[in-house]
Amino acid sequence: MADPLARFKAVQQRGNDRLVEAHHQFWPSEATMAEGSPQLILDRGEKVITPPALIMQGTNDDNLTPDMARNFATAYSRAGGTIAFHEFDGEPHAFIPRDPNSANAQKALALIADFIRHQTG
């Protein structure tokens, strides 16, 4: 989760009690969400290690929204990291396991395999 505080506020605003409760299981407060947020750590300019990263994002994801993913990819690059960011038009959260044989899932799986091959030689 790149920005737990932003996600918490978004699901809270939408009245998604299940995801609000899930946040409370991991984060005792909004202050700890902000402190441990990878997005906010990058925004604060903290020194971080930035290994190569990969993001697969559906444009219809209402769990981890496309803007959160784009913001993180931008901040990660700004911090010196290399990040491959791929958006999949119309796809929801967890689109790959929902329908692993779909064209977008197959494309995403190929991108993941290529990313791993490239990183491991």
Give how many domains the chain has, as a whole number.
Answer: 1
Which long-range CB contacts under 8 A does 9-14 form with residues at least 24 apart? 10/65, 11/63, 14/62
| Torsion angles phi and psi, residue 101, rounded to 5 | -95, 0
pLDDT at 62: 86
Mean pLDDT of 45-56: 97
pLDDT at 121: 87
Quick check: 1 pLDDT over 90?
Answer: no
Average pLDDT across the chain, whole number: 95
Q: How would DSSP label each residue in 23-84?
A: HHHH-SSHHHHHHH-HHHHHHTT-------EEEEEETT-SSS-HHHHHHHHHHHHHTT--EE
Find the domain containing 29 and state its range: 4-120
Class of residue 101 by CB neighbours under 10 A (exposed 0-12, middle 13-18, buried 19+)? exposed
Interval 59-102: pLDDT, tens: 999 888 899 999 999 999 999 999 999 999 999 999 999 999 99
Whole-number Å distance between alpha carbons of 59 and 57: 6
What CATH number should be reported for the domain holding residue 89? 3.40.50.1820
User: Number of C-alpha atoms within 13 angstroms, CB side, residue 41?
Assistant: 15
